[in-house]
Structure 1
Amino acid sequence: MDVEWRSFEAYVRGRTVALSRIAYLLTGDHHLAEDLVQQTFLSVAGRWQRLVTEGDPDPYVRRVLYHQHVSWWRRARRITHVSLAGVDPPAPDRADQVGVTVAVQRALARLGPRQRAALVLRYFEDLTEVETAAVLGCRVGTVKSQVRDGLARLRVLAPELAELLEVRS
Structure 2
Amino acid sequence: MATRGEDFDDFVRGSATRLLRTAVLLTGDRGVGEDLVQETYERIYVHWPRIRTGAPEAYARKTLTNLAANRWRKRQRRPTEVTLIDGHDHDRPTPDGSEAYAVRRELLAALQELAPRQRAVIVLRYYDDLTEAQTAEVLGCSVGTVKSQTSRALDRLRLITEPAILEGLR
Matches within 5 A, 1:1-169: 3-54=3-54, 56-77=55-76, 79-80=77-78, 82-83=80-81, 86-88=89-91, 95-158=98-161, 160=162, 162-165=163-166, 168=169
Question: What is the alpha-carbon root mean square deviation over aligned residues?
Answer: 2.3
Runs of 4+ in structure 1 displaced over 4 angstroms?
166-169
Cα offset, 1:81, TM superposition: 5.3
Q: 1: CA distance between counterparts of 2:105 and 2:169? A: 18
How far apart are residue 13 of structure 1 and its match?
A: 2.3
Unaligned runs of at least 5 residues, structure 2: 84-88, 93-97
Q: Distance in 2 between matches of 1:135 and 1:50?
A: 18
Alpha-carbon separation, structure 2, partners of 1:105 and 1:168: 13
Q: Does the 8 Å contact 2:62/2:139 carry over to 1?
A: yes
Q: Distance in 2 between matches of 1:107 and 1:87?
A: 19
Query: Using a 3 Å threshold, how does the CA distance of structure 1 residues 12 and 27 change in structure 2: closer, same or farther?
Result: same
Percent identical pairs in the alignment equals: 41
Task: Answer yes or no: is the 8 Å Cα contact 1:83–1:106 preserved in 2.
Answer: no
Distance in 1, Cα, partners of 2:21 & 2:167: 24
TM-score (norm: length of structure 1): 0.85
- 2:39 and 2:59 map into 1 onto residues whose CA distance is 14
Say whether the 8 Å CA contact 2:20–2:34 is kept in structure 1.
yes
> Taking structure 2 as the reference length, what is the TM-score of the superposition?
0.85
Amino acid at match of 1:65: L
> Cα offset for 1:144?
0.9
Q: SS where residue 6 of structure 1 aligns?
A: helix
Query: Which amino acid is the alignment partner of residue 163 of structure 1?
Result: A
CA contact (8 A) 2:8 2:48 kept: yes
* Structure-2 residue corresponding to 1:92: none
Q: Which runs of 5+ in 1 are unaligned?
A: 90-94
Q: Across the two proteins, how many residue pairs are aligned to each other?
A: 161
